[in-house]
Structure 1
Amino acid sequence: MTDQSLHSDPAAPRPDRPPAAPAGESGARPGDGGVTVLPPPPADFVGRGRELAELLADIDRAGLGGAGRTAARVLLVAGRPGTGRTALALRLAADVVARYPDGRYFVRLTSAEGTPVPVEQVARGLLRALGGGAADLREAMAGRRLLLVLDDVVQAAQLAALLPEAADSLVVATSGGPLSGVPDVRPCTLGGLDTPSAVRLLAATIGDTRVGCDPRGAETLVQELAGHPTALRLTAAWLAGRPGASFADAFTRLREIPAAPFTPPAGASEPRPAPPAGELVRAFRLAYDSLPAAAARLLRLLVLAPAGAVDAQGASALAGCAVDAARGTLDDFVRGGLLAGAAPQYRVPGCLEPMLAALLAGAERPEEVRLARARMLERTVRLLLSCRAALAGEPVEEGMPALLRFDTAAAAAGWLETRLPALLAAVRSAVADGELDTLARRLVAALVRALAAFPGGDAMAAERYELHSLVLDVAERRGLLREQAAALINLGDLDAGAGRTDRALDRYRLALGAARACDDRQAEGRVLEALGGTYMERHDPGRAFDWYGRALSLRQAGGELADQARLHGRIGALLTYTGQYGPALREWRTAAGLSKRLGDLPSQARALAEAARVQEFAGRPEDAVRSCRDALYWARQAADRRLEAALLLRFADLLDRLGDPEGARLQRESAKSLGSRGAQTG
């Protein structure tokens, strides 16, 4: 990748044109701030009858707000990792989902790295999921009957900021413990399963017959593990892989395993608020210690997978093994309770991540970890390049392996849509690493271009903003002035497109300094033109004219005719806006002449059409007619039927104003005929 390739975000709105409207589709996507459509509860959910009854009763109780309550009802399910708090929240949601027809969404509020997901990011995702027509999230949620499951809430402020002002909505939150500062919420605190439910959970994995042959042994094992659901699943899977082993064997092995927590990796960020329970630690060690060395190494490396999500190809890249071998091992992990999901995408359970991270730090040298991450990121870059090519209908690069190709644009779009949270997490991880900056830059560039090609990608300005901010971090860290300028330009474009013109001007001025410092004339010209466009958005034609003039001088010095033609057009439009019709006409004619020299006949026709508009404004209708006829001639020479039809309609309007309705009618009929022929050809 060259530095130049980062100079422009293809989907970034430009200050000289309005930003593209969001896609017309609504509904949550995986990339929308972690917002997804509400998933079903786990198939093996058992027990929790008392807790479910209490939560259901809480939905309808009057509470502190009484009958005049305006905010949504909030239910809180609290528990340590692995106790099944998310499963219970989803089970409850499935029981009441019919009451909330206006939207049912699931949001995870803790990232794979254990940090709180920014509320602004989630709010944007929910706003898009709800249709995006409202000015803010509160407005979009008002008066609706919504069901939100907010998983793994870390701070009360996260919950408060996302709470609908709608009494008929319901929010089910999960957390590691009580959340102070949230009024009228009684946490439902989870411990272990009751013994009958826990025994049923064992039987779901190892079979009723085996449990029926030794019911007392099953109950003793349940009590040893305090009914901890995840610990029971891990131990049951261990027993299922050993048909000759008894409950007593498992009990004895567990008793020999220390319950001491794993030591966090050196230099790790803050650990999760609730460390794993001792029974979960022992059950995990039982399962992990029984793995072959190669499988244990692959399991450790899976914590490097962004957002904890991985497929067989990603696992093979991490471990440096064959894809088929990786796929078989991942399926074994699912059967063993060590992974969730199924092919093609697997997920590391959040309650196991801290233990696997500690094992990775203790068993692998830092350079081996970095190499594994680099292999995974390199594969991700190639996948993104292949994805973008498929979305754009272009051939993939020569030598791309079949496993990294997409058969159709729909397959590429589906992959990008489902993997977006993991891809964003991969970029953050690569930038934070500090030793993978080259890969990080390539990864950002590939993801930006894939998002630009994705249907509805224009709606993901916030994600692109984060990506360019990460590029800026790397460029500043490495002293890469050319890439600093590129990132600042892209950030300025996004700020300008969102109406944040003050911020855009600050970004552009910093970009101008960086571009001049590294003598990047292309970037300098782009910034000068963007400054002119931004001042036009601010209705400051004097400053806009000054910056456009500087940009034109730079392009003239470099002999860049296409850029000169465009800038003469920008200046012509500005002069028309201020009523300076004579100078405006000269600018448009100059733009037409430059386009003719370049052989760009459509641009020549458009410039002449704008000249005709200026002449009409100046009260010279006959001259406007001649210029419009010239524009039509060059559009026909270019065989651009769409442009020709548009010019015919403009010519018809001009003739109407000149008092020639019959001539106007004929032009409109010609335009209609062109449109019909174009549709038949298409």
Structure 2
Amino acid sequence: MPGAGSARSEAEQRGGGYGEFVGRRREVQALRADIERAGLDTISGRKAPRARVLLIAGRPGSGRTALAEELAGQLGGDYADGVLYARLTDPGGERVPTDRTARELLDALDLPAPPGAGADELAESLREALAARRVLLLLDDAADAEQVDLLLPDNPDCLVVATAQGPLTGIPDVRPCTLGGLDTASAVELLSRFTGSVRIKVDPRAAEGLVEECAGQPAALVLAGGWLAARPKASVADVARQLRATPSALGPVGRAFRLSYESLVPPAARILRLLALAPAGLVDAHTASALSGCSVSAAQSTLDDFTALGLLRPDGSTPPQYTVPGCLAPLIRAAMEAQERPAEVQLARARMLERTVRLLQSCRAITEPDGSAARRKLAGLPRALRFPNQQAAAGWLRTRRPALLASAAAAVADGELDTLARRLVSALVRALAAHRGTEAAAPDLYGLHRLVLDVADRRGLHREKAAALLNLADLDARTGRNREALARYRAALDAGRAANDPYATGRAMESVGGAHQQLEDWQRAADWYGRALTQRLARGERADEARLYGRLGTVHTYAGRYGEALRNWRASAAGYRRLGDLAGHARALSEMARVQEYAGRPTESLRTCREAVELARRAGDVRLQAALQLRLADTLDRLGDPAAARLHRATAERLLEDDSPACEIRSGFAED
């Protein structure tokens, strides 16, 4: 099912991934009929302002997710823009923030979501996107009505199918379809998927008794069926008898889980307990291997065994990844807390983070050229930590992305593994940028930089705080939040000064000037560029000096102070000349020509522009040459020489080839 959100997490009616949907025909019919039911708006003669909501209510393990998926599968063809999926509660029981859900749904629709945008802004963007589409939106495991209400499409042509433990009071015109246990025939059919028909036919009453012990709960039946499948000589009566001996206070799912858990050999039981630490409830062989300290191959074999027992659910990805069922997650965590010492738990978490860091480093290194230092280092890693090619690494990163982001957040929240957390965030930032590009990965990078800021604040790491603030401010500025960017740039300047870091302070001062420039406060922009320039002059950083002279020239031009602008552009051109940077020199002269034209000195502008053209030619910058030829043509038109102007335009067209559009030369310095 295409969609967004974390992987599904209940080992429900599909038998932990086995076979087809079982039972619930009456519920499916009732839900389908509810779609056509006249709502309160229709009865009053008004058109429904929002999408119809179908609610499937039931306890974890009751099959609510499987029923919602079955309904979505049956109805999906009626919705031209497809089915979207989002899980609203993490396997650990924490609410998924609305901004994360909205961002993932927008991503599923291939729509941009500005990095750092708040929940309200993203939810509004999602509703606007769905207003022009016909989709079926499946919202799984909603914690309350507010979560669903914020995501509801303002479009009656859409349909929302939500699952929750109880009614969603606050959303009007919603009648919950409340799930109990499966009927006996369907429950026995589910069991037979694991046991085969013979053991059921030999003792049908025992099968019915087992269904009764499980209260018809699909998750409990799957666990009981998995136990029987692993023991071909055991009878259905055996498992029913053992369940009866288990305390009833545990509930059907808890009793079936204890039966399955206590039948595991000690190493497997320990691996299962430690899966409570799996980020976002997502497990792969490397995670299990690192948590338990066993080999990757042994971990993979154990995960396959858990899947057969109904303790895990595969998500169909390659390489294999599994989901800890939501109804089992609290039981697994309780077992870990009861039987694992805190020091062992922390050690397992540290091993998992260290393994993740090494995999991320390998994932990034595969993008480097052959023969590079990173590739040579990669060759020295164990085979299990190496990727065969860049495509395999990108696929792993894409599949594991939710778990990796959750792992970084959990490591920072832990507070006791900050060194590993910093390494993990750094490795994840680099891997995402290498495979997805900084633009596509910007929403993820924004969250990761905030995690770095949290650790830096907690540990008093001023240099890292400055770097995180600069990165966050850059993303704010890129999305037009200039005042927020300005505040962060100023905070970065304070952190840079506290760290006595000249690079951070210089970068922050220049960025403060850039933020004021974007806010069209030319005086303050010039002041801050001047401060940054003073520092660069004192340190003899010539390339930065030339750039800052250009930025000063730009803001003075915008302010109409053409004399100051020309002085700064001349200084910039001189700086690039001393550096031997022909292209930079040409661009500085082109901006000088622009200012001379603004100042009413077209003859000087023409001369300067011709000099810039020659420098661009010597630099081999064809696009710059073409743009300068067009500027020359415009200047000649204003001087009353249209014939010469036509010649320069023809030259520009030849340079660009195939009439490819040339951009007007703008100050590159203003966007550095």
TM-score for both structures, normalised by structure 1: 0.87
| Partner of residue 65, structure 2 | 86
Whether contact under 8 Å (2:92, 2:329) holds in the other structure is no
Q: Give, in whole Å, the separation in 2 of the partners of 1:385 and 1:447.
A: 8
Per-residue deviation, residues 303-345 of structure 1 (Å, max 9, x unmatched) = 2121111221222122211111111111111111111005521
Q: Identify which range, 363-372 or 197-206, moves more after superposition.
A: 363-372
Per-residue deviation, residues 641-671 of structure 1 (Å, max 9, x unmatched) = 3433443444444444444444444444444
Q: Give, in whole Å, the separation in 1 of the partners of 2:2 and 2:611.
A: 50
Q: CA RMSD in A?
A: 2.5
| Partner of residue 8, structure 1 | none
Q: What's the offset of the Cα at 1:203?
A: 0.9
Per-residue deviation, residues 164-201 of structure 1 (Å, max 9, x unmatched) = 11112110001111222121111111111110000110
| Partner of residue 533, structure 1 | 514
Q: What's the offset of the Cα at 1:512?
A: 1.6
| Partner of residue 326, structure 2 | 350
The 3 A distance-change label for structure 1 pair 392 and 186 is farther
| Partner of residue 515, structure 1 | 496
Q: Give, in whole Å, the separation in 1 of the partners of 2:91 and 2:152.
A: 23
- Alignment partner of 1:230 is 2:209: no
Per-residue deviation, residues 87-118 of structure 1 (Å, max 9, x unmatched) = 00010011111221124200001123321111
Q: What's the offset of the Cα at 1:598?
A: 2.5
Whether contact under 8 Å (1:34, 1:125) holds in the other structure is no
| Partner of residue 260, structure 2 | 287
Q: Give, in whole Å, the separation in 1 of the partners of 2:411 and 2:154.
A: 39
Q: Give, in whole Å, the separation in 1 of the partners of 2:565 and 2:436.
A: 38
Q: What's the offset of the Cα at 1:675?
A: 4.1
Aligned pair partner of 1:110 in 82, 85, 89: 89
| Partner of residue 155, structure 1 | 144
Whether contact under 8 Å (1:34, 1:122) holds in the other structure is no
SS in 2 for 1:47: coil
Whether contact under 8 Å (1:29, 1:417) holds in the other structure is no
Per-residue deviation, residues 143-179 of structure 1 (Å, max 9, x unmatched) = 5322100001002100111111111211000111122
Letter in 2 for 1:77: I
Aligned pair partner of 1:366 in 325, 339, 342: 342
| Partner of residue 644, structure 1 | 625
Q: Give, in whole Å, the separation in 1 of the partners of 2:276 and 2:304.
A: 17
Aligned pair partner of 2:177 in 172, 184, 188: 188
SS in 2 for 1:192: coil
- Alignment partner of 1:337 is 2:349: no
Aligned pair partner of 2:530 in 544, 549, 561: 549
Q: What's the offset of the Cα at 1:614?
A: 1.7
Whether contact under 8 Å (1:234, 1:287) holds in the other structure is yes
Q: Give, in whole Å, the separation in 2 of the partners of 1:556 and 1:499.
A: 31
Structure 1: give runs of 5+ residues left out of the alignment: 1-26, 262-277
Letter in 1 for 2:105: L
Whether contact under 8 Å (2:91, 2:324) holds in the other structure is no
SS in 2 for 1:136: helix
| Partner of residue 614, structure 1 | 595
Aligned pair partner of 1:305 in 278, 283, 289: 278
Q: Identify which range, 243-252 or 442-451, moves more after superposition.
A: 442-451
Whether contact under 8 Å (1:338, 1:348) holds in the other structure is yes
Q: What's the offset of the Cα at 1:53?
A: 0.8
Aligned pair partner of 1:419 in 400, 411, 426: 400
The 3 A distance-change label for structure 1 pair 98 and 372 is same
Q: Give, in whole Å, the separation in 2 of the partners of 1:534 and 1:29.
A: 37
Whether contact under 8 Å (1:612, 1:625) holds in the other structure is yes
The 3 A distance-change label for structure 1 pair 389 and 629 is farther
The 3 A distance-change label for structure 1 pair 354 and 393 is farther
Q: Give, in whole Å, the separation in 2 of the partners of 1:192 and 1:242.
A: 25
SS in 2 for 1:171: strand
Q: Identify which range, 174-183 or 441-450, moves more after superposition.
A: 441-450
| Partner of residue 206, structure 1 | 195
The 3 A distance-change label for structure 1 pair 641 and 378 is farther
Q: Give, in whole Å, the separation in 1 of the partners of 2:528 and 2:230.
A: 73
Q: What's the offset of the Cα at 1:387?
A: 2.9
Q: Give, in whole Å, the separation in 2 of the partners of 1:233 and 1:279.
A: 11
Q: What's the offset of the Cα at 1:674?
A: 4.0
The 3 A distance-change label for structure 1 pair 127 and 435 is same
Per-residue deviation, residues 25-81 of structure 1 (Å, max 9, x unmatched) = xx9775xx6599xxx986432001111111111111002222521211101111111
Matches within 5 A, 1:265-284: 278-284=251-257
SS in 1 for 2:40: coil
Per-residue deviation, residues 2-45 of structure 1 (Å, max 9, x unmatched) = xxxxxxxxxxxxxxxxxxxxxxxxx9775xx6599xxx986432
Letter in 1 for 2:303: L
The 3 A distance-change label for structure 1 pair 239 and 192 is same
Q: Give, in whole Å, the separation in 1 of the partners of 2:37 and 2:262.
A: 49
Aligned pair partner of 1:581 in 545, 551, 562: 562
Letter in 1 for 2:385: L
Whether contact under 8 Å (2:483, 2:515) holds in the other structure is no
Letter in 2 for 1:80: R
Q: Give, in whole Å, the separation in 2 of the partners of 1:661 and 1:628.
A: 17
Q: Identify which range, 290-299 or 650-659, moves more after superposition.
A: 650-659
Q: What's the offset of the Cα at 1:568?
A: 0.9
Q: Give, in whole Å, the separation in 1 of the partners of 2:299 and 2:334.
A: 22
How many residues were matched structurally? 632
- Alignment partner of 1:378 is 2:351: no
| Partner of residue 133, structure 2 | 144
SS in 2 for 1:168: coil
The 3 A distance-change label for structure 1 pair 236 and 409 is same
Q: Give, in whole Å, the separation in 2 of the partners of 1:461 and 1:114.
A: 28
Q: Give, in whole Å, the separation in 2 of the partners of 1:76 and 1:350.
A: 19
Q: Give, in whole Å, the separation in 2 of the partners of 1:393 and 1:77.
A: 52
Letter in 1 for 2:560: G
Letter in 2 for 1:448: V
Whether contact under 8 Å (1:393, 1:409) holds in the other structure is no
| Partner of residue 667, structure 2 | none
Flag the structure with more relative contact order, 1 or 2, with Cα contacts below 8 A and sequence separation at least 6: 1
Q: Give, in whole Å, the separation in 1 of the partners of 2:479 and 2:2.
A: 22
- Alignment partner of 1:495 is 2:463: no
Aligned pair partner of 1:317 in 287, 290, 297: 290
Per-residue deviation, residues 408-450 of structure 1 (Å, max 9, x unmatched) = 4443333323222111101110011111111111222222233
The 3 A distance-change label for structure 1 pair 670 and 143 is closer
Q: What's the offset of the Cα at 1:677?
A: 11
Whether contact under 8 Å (1:235, 1:250) holds in the other structure is yes
Per-residue deviation, residues 531-551 of structure 1 (Å, max 9, x unmatched) = 111111111111111111111
Q: What's the offset of the Cα at 1:290?
A: 1.1
Q: What's the offset of the Cα at 1:392?
A: 6.4
Q: Give, in whole Å, the separation in 2 of the partners of 1:102 and 1:219.
A: 43
The 3 A distance-change label for structure 1 pair 389 and 623 is farther
Q: Give, in whole Å, the separation in 1 of the partners of 2:140 and 2:146.
A: 14
Whether contact under 8 Å (1:569, 1:607) holds in the other structure is yes
Letter in 2 for 1:307: A
| Partner of residue 168, structure 1 | 157
Aligned pair partner of 1:242 in 231, 243, 246: 231
SS in 2 for 1:226: coil
Letter in 2 for 1:340: R
Letter in 2 for 1:204: R
Q: Give, in whole Å, the separation in 2 of the partners of 1:588 and 1:28.
A: 54
Q: Give, in whole Å, the separation in 2 of the partners of 1:78 and 1:281.
A: 20
TM-score for both structures, normalised by structure 2: 0.89
Per-residue deviation, residues 219-240 of structure 1 (Å, max 9, x unmatched) = 1111111111111111111111
Whether contact under 8 Å (1:313, 1:326) holds in the other structure is yes
Q: Give, in whole Å, the separation in 1 of the partners of 2:70 and 2:195.
A: 23
